[in-house]
A and B are shown apart, each in its own frame.
Chain A
Amino acid sequence: AQSVAQPEDQVNVAEGNPLTVKCTYSVSGNPYLFWYVQYPNRGLQFLLKYITGDNLVKGSYGFEAEFNKSQTSFHLKKPSALVSDSALYFCAVRDNRGGYQKVTFGIGTKLQVIP
């Protein structure tokens, strides 16, 4: 069974500092990996995905994520945090084996950027 772990319930970072939101995964095959962001009372918005190729993936709003196969991780990063980045962040994984494979979401990490 596949799974996603987001080990931190909340991450606090000062505005202007770099931020990291952690994600590790477990799949039987190789992973397709996704990050989404949710602002209060809104649906999730897609940020970026890793399918294949370059391990460093760049996405919306200056976010990027690095796929590390040996550590089974896909941490979300941004060089300089903004107060407007404060939101709930979800990591998701899908096994890339053939046929239908469900997407599994993590429980979410709340990011608080402090002015």
Chain B
Amino acid sequence: NAGVMQNPRHLVRRRGQEARLRCSPMKGHSHVYWYRQLPEEGLKFMVYLQKENIIDESGMPKERFSAEFPKEGPSILRIQQVVRGDSAAYFCASSLGDRVYEQYFGPGTRLTVT
């Protein structure tokens, strides 16, 4: 059973460009979470999605950031008009359900904004 897949692993964008981060959950998992990790700041929750629905986006910045998990295909985290402060590691995780179920993490996408 393949794990959580994320691509690209590394992404370099100039200020003002768009960044698209993709996440394919583990087979059979319909719950997807996105996190951002900055050095010395731990793991920050961004958004929780189920197929075609955003369940909790309380950690998402109000502007420039959006996420989707369509019926077919991977979950996408989209960052428009990137700024240097967006440089971070972005992790996707999936789970079989919520509540008692643990999350399985992808290897992350390291975004660098120049």
Task: Spell out A's residues near B (CB within 8 Å).
Answer: 32, 34, 36, 41-46, 49, 51, 90, 94, 96, 100-108
Contacts and interface: CB of A to CB of B under 8 A. Distances in A.
B45 A94 contact: no
A31 B33 CA distance: 20
Contacts of B105: 36, 43-45
A104 B48 CA distance: 13
B42 A105 contact: yes
B98 interface: yes
Contacts of B42: 90, 105-108
B44 to A, nearest CB: 8
A106 B42 CA distance: 7
A102 B56 contact: yes
A43 B4 contact: yes
Contacts, number: 53
A105 B43 contact: yes
Contacts of B6: 43
A49 B102 contact: yes
Contacts of B55: 100
B108 interface: yes
Contacts of B81: none
B102 A43 contact: no
B62 interface: no
A90 B58 CA distance: 21
B106 interface: yes
24 contacts: A32-B100, A41-B108, A42-B108, A43-B4, A43-B93, A43-B106, A44-B91, A44-B103, A44-B105, A46-B103, A51-B100, A90-B42, A90-B43, A96-B99, A100-B56, A100-B98, A102-B45, A103-B33, A104-B45, A105-B42, A105-B43, A105-B45, A106-B42, A107-B41
